[in-house]
Every structure is written in structure tokens, then in C-alpha cells.
A and B are shown apart, each in its own frame.
Chain A
Amino acid sequence: MKNNKLAILTNGIIKENPILVLILGTCPFLAVTTQASNAIGMGAAVTFVLLCSNVMISLLRNVISDKVRIPCYIVVIASFVTLVQMVVKAYFSALDTALGLYLPLIVVNCIILGRAEMFANKNGVLDSALDAIGMGVGYLLAMLIMASIREIFGAGTWFGMKIPVLADNNISIMTMAPGGFAVFGLLIAVVNKVSHGKAIKKKDFGCEGCPSAASCGQRGCERVQKEANA
């Protein structure tokens, strides 16, 4: 049982990394990763919201009617995002300027809604909290790696510190949108290579792990898929 809890915690870091394996929440991932400090701020904000919403939704999972669960999740998530936004505005005004629109947009971040739908509404409070921490850390680490690569090579700085040789020889495309997509693709390729493509195998996920399971018309497809795999 102990082992199981550890597995839930570490799941989000590599095996089901929300960004690099599940490919969720890519919009802020591409947009705010031009500086490592922004990535830390964004990662921390998402982790906090994810933890609170997962716990709250897990607590309420027997109260919320299945038919209206998505609006309920959004209300819960939006409350926590508003909270974070107010705190950031009050105490970290530089971060608020840097993140801009992407901070309130955490409300519709797929990772948070995805984890609520995939995990929190089926599991207990402790498991949901562990899952949220794992996913949050995975998100933060992916953000940090991506932002570090883009900042170091694109601007020649890291957390605002100048790096001697690279600062004069920066590859400015890295901080632009095309560079973001390119680095993103390369990171996914590396993760696939390291995990021998196992991370992304669909049959391990089934409908439970599918991010569009909620809107998918064929919820019974899991059975069909299993038969096909057998």
C-alpha cells in the first residue's frame, strides 16, 4: 500500500508527465517559458491550484451529480485561481506583469480539469492530493527545463544572470514562438527516447487516462479497445 502511494506521487513526474507525455496545458507552457523565473512562478501557481482543486473535488465527489460535474469543477477551480491571482497581484507584482493573461487562464488549464476528471473524482482525498503534488512537480520541472533551455540559448541569461559567452551569441529564435515549439518537440522526443516510447502507450491508459474521455461519445470504447489488444 505504501508503494502504491509512492507510485501515485511519482506518476506525474516522468511516466505521466502532464506536459511531456499527456500533452496537456501546452498554451501557457509555450507562452510563459521565455524566462526561468516566470516558469517557476507559473509552475507554483498551477501546483497550488491543482492541489486545492483536487482535494476539494475529491471531497465533493459523492455530492456532485455526474451530469453537472464539469461546471462544478470549473467553479471550484475558478475560486482557487481567483485566490492565487489576488495573492500574486498583492505580493508579486513583477510576476503578475510577466504572466499577464496566463494567470487567470489557469481556470481553463487542461491539466487541472483533466486531473479532476481523471483522478480526483474517482479517488480518495489523500491519493488525490498526492496525485496533484506529483503532477504539479512534473509540470514545474518541465516548465523549468523548457524555460532554462530557451532563456540560456535564446537570451544568454538564466534567472536574469548573464552567462558570459552565450550572452553575446544568443540564438534569438529560441525565445520566439517557433523556437518554443521546436524545443517542446525536442523535449517530447527525448522523453519518448528515454522511456522507450512506453510512456505514451495508449492501452495502459484506456478511457480512464484519456483527456477527452468526458466528451467522448464512446465511453464504452475501452472494452472494444481491450478486445482489440487481446
Chain B
Amino acid sequence: MENNKIVSVNPHIYAPDTTTTIMRDVVLALVPAVIASVLFFGPRALLVEAVCIAVAVLCEWGFEKICKRPNTIGDFSAVVTGLLLALNLPVSIPIWQAAFGAFVAIVVVKQLFGGIGMNFANPAITARIVMLVAFGSAMTTWTAPAFADATSSATPLSIIAGINGVTAGTHTADELPSLVQMFLGARGGSLGETSCLALLLGGIYLIWRKVISWHTPVAFIATVFVLTALLGQQPLYQVMAGGLFIGAFFMATDYTTSPPTPKGKIVFGIGCGLLTVCIRVWGNYPEGVSFSILLMNILNPFICNLTRTKPFGGVEA
């Protein structure tokens, strides 16, 4: 029985947002990316996404049942985690590996730390990194997308890494897709990361709905743009390549694992961008968005502490 007659401390502001509405908005924002993934990679993309979502929801339900915790599958957060994980996988991923990833995301990263709002790192990102380390070859076997002129199935970033001699590879600059192809998504890569257009639509929808603020994505993408320009790479290309858009709009803005204040969000975004560029340019991996977000997730408590806002009328601490 809920007692509605309790008077709580002010401010008495009512907001209609609940976890459910926010997560529903995120799912809606990801719809363009899902459509793009099916368009470019065929119906198996849908299968991978369905498996990840189903396993994520099942794991959430099962774990909460075992631990006698309140059931939270109704708030769509497991759906978002499963979908984000699926969008970060290559289309050819074996189904059992995708299911393993969803299990790691929900049980190990989210529920073992206390469920929604308690996880120290983004579940989808962490699960993707676990899978990248565990199934190295399956996670970097890319399929050539439909509508692409280039025959190569490698991601643009691994082609660039090959040209620069960072990794072994016999790629040439001719294999790189054009900027338009990059923007539309006709290139090798994970399911949901290729179409910048679809992700941009989703991101703008989220900002318009005030689900996320512009600070983190803009700081993240701008940092990558400026740093790659300074380092003599092609900035526009670097910004659109890899998982930067999905990372900046959907992963780095996770409420639990990123700072709440605008100042903190900007610091978080710049940190992500810095690490991404470092890994891309000097690291062994061609792509560094997921690692950078995970590392910044871990730094998040410190960023929160150092960017605390002064309460109105308060004294600087």
C-alpha cells in the first residue's frame, strides 16, 4: 500500500520521465540503425539482434528470480543493453557467442553489481570487449555490405591501420570507401556502427527528447576531429569511421556510468576522444571507441567528484 499523504522535502517538481519512457526513447532512437543494419547486412542482422535482446531479457528475468529481486524486465533496460550489444557485433558472429555476450552484459556486468543504476561500466561495451578478447577472430571477421562498390570486407579503420603499417595487412588506399558511403553506412563493420546517418537521426531524436544532452557526444566527436586533424589523419574520415557515432550518442551517454553535470560530461567526452585517437593512431587495435568508453567509465567517479557543481548560494568547496 502506498501512502500518498506523505509530504516530502521540496522541490516538488514533477517530471513524467521514468526509466521505462527513457529506455523506450532509446529503443526508438535505435530503430534507424536497426533498419540500416538489415539493409546493409541482410536478415541475419535481425537474427543477431533478436538473439541478443532475448538472451538479455531472459538473463535479467532469471537472475532476478534466483536472487528474489524485484523484476525489472518491464523497464526496457535489458532490451536496450541487448540491442546495443547486437549493434556492436559483426553480422557473421556465431549465435552462441552473441548469447554469451548478452549473458556477460546482463549477469556479470549489470546484475552482479546490483542491477540497473549500480553497474560500474556500460554493460554492452564491457560485453563487447570481453567478446573481442575471447573470440578475437570471430569478432573481427567483417562481411562486405550490400550497395558497396568496394569488394573489401575489412573495416575502413583496419585498412588505414594496414596502410600505416601498424598492423599486418595488404590493403591499399583504393579499397577505402568514399565519404558518402561512410556517411550512409555502406562499409564493413559492426551491425549498427556503419550508418552515421541512421545514428545521427537517433542521436538528434534523443537530444530533442532531452534523454541525453549534447555535451558528451559533441565533446567526444569534436575531440576526435581536432586531434586526428592535428596528427595528420583525415579528420572527417576518422570521425565517421568505426564505432564513434554509436559510442558517442548511445554508449558514452549512459546515465549510470557517465557524469551528471554538463562540465563533467564535457570532460568525459574529451577523455573518450583522447583515448580513442591514441588507440587508433598508436595502438595495436584499429578501433578504440569501446576501450576508451570503458576506461572513462572507470574514471567516472573521479570526474564526478572533481566536477561537482556549486549549489546555488553555496560556498566553493
Chain A positions near chain B (C-beta within 8 angstroms):
169, 171-174, 176, 178-179, 182, 185-186, 189
Give CA–CA (A172, B112) in the complex, Å: 22
Given contacts A169-B96, A171-B100, A173-B130, contact A186 B136 (CB under 8 A): no
Q: Which residues of B contact A186 (CB under 8 A)?
A: 108, 112
**Shortest Cβ distance from B137 into A: residue:** A172
Q: Which residues of B contact A174 (CB under 8 A)?
A: 134
**Shortest Cβ distance from B130 into A: residue:** A173
A171-B134, A173-B130, A185-B112 given; 6 more Cβ-contact pairs under 8 Å: A171-B135, A172-B136, A178-B133, A179-B134, A186-B108, A189-B112
Partner of B133 from the list A169, A176, A185, A189 (CB cut-off 8 Å) is A176
A-B contact pairs, 10 of them (CB 8 A): A169-B94, A171-B134, A172-B133, A173-B133, A178-B130, A182-B108, A185-B112, A186-B108, A186-B112, A189-B112
In whole Å, how far is B294's beta carbon from the nearest beta carbon of chain A?
Answer: 12
For B94, B100, B133, B136, the residue with the greatest tally of chain A CB atoms inside 10 Å of its CB is B133
Cβ A172 vs Cβ B134 within 8 A:
yes
Question: Ordered nearest first, which 5 A-B pairs have the shortest CB separation?
Answer: A173-B134, A173-B133, A171-B134, A172-B134, A173-B130
Give CA–CA (A173, B136) in the complex, Å: 10
The proximity string for B residues 248-268 relative to A, scoring 1 for CB distances below 8 Å and 0 otherwise, is 000000000000000000000
For A172, A173, A176, A189, the residue with the greatest tally of chain B CB atoms inside 10 Å of its CB is A173
The proximity string for B residues 124-138 relative to A, scoring 1 for CB distances below 8 Å and 0 otherwise, is 000000100111100
In whole Å, how far is A151's beta carbon from the nearest beta carbon of chain B?
Answer: 15
Give CA–CA (A174, B100) in the complex, Å: 13
**Shortest Cβ distance from A189 into B: residue:** B112
Give CA–CA (A176, B133) in the complex, Å: 9
- How many A-B pairs with Cβ below 8 Å? 22
Give CA–CA (A230, B130) in the complex, Å: 46
Q: Which residues of A contact B108 (CB under 8 A)?
A: 182, 186
Give CA–CA (A189, B66) in the complex, Å: 14
Give CA–CA (A185, B104) in the complex, Å: 13
Give CA–CA (A171, B100) in the complex, Å: 10
Q: Which residues of B contact A176 (CB under 8 A)?
A: 133
Give CA–CA (A3, B207) in the complex, Å: 67
Q: Which residues of A contact B96 (CB under 8 A)?
A: 169
Q: Which residues of A contact B136 (CB under 8 A)?
A: 172
Give CA–CA (A182, B129) in the complex, Å: 14
The proximity string for B residues 162-188 relative to A, scoring 1 for CB distances below 8 Å and 0 otherwise, is 000000000000000000000000000
In whole Å, how far is A167's beta carbon from the nearest beta carbon of chain B?
Answer: 14
Give CA–CA (A173, B108) in the complex, Å: 14
**Shortest Cβ distance from A175 into B: residue:** B134
Give CA–CA (A189, B130) in the complex, Å: 20
Give CA–CA (A186, B63) in the complex, Å: 14
In whole Å, how far is A166's beta carbon from the nearest beta carbon of chain B?
Answer: 11
The proximity string for B residues 91-114 relative to A, scoring 1 for CB distances below 8 Å and 0 otherwise, is 000101000100000001000100
In whole Å, how far is A85's beta carbon from the nearest beta carbon of chain B?
Answer: 34
**Shortest Cβ distance from B138 into A: residue:** A169
Give CA–CA (A89, B135) in the complex, Å: 37
In whole Å, how far is B290's beta carbon from the nearest beta carbon of chain A?
Answer: 15
Q: Which residues of B contact A173 (CB under 8 A)?
A: 130, 133-134
Give CA–CA (A171, B136) in the complex, Å: 10
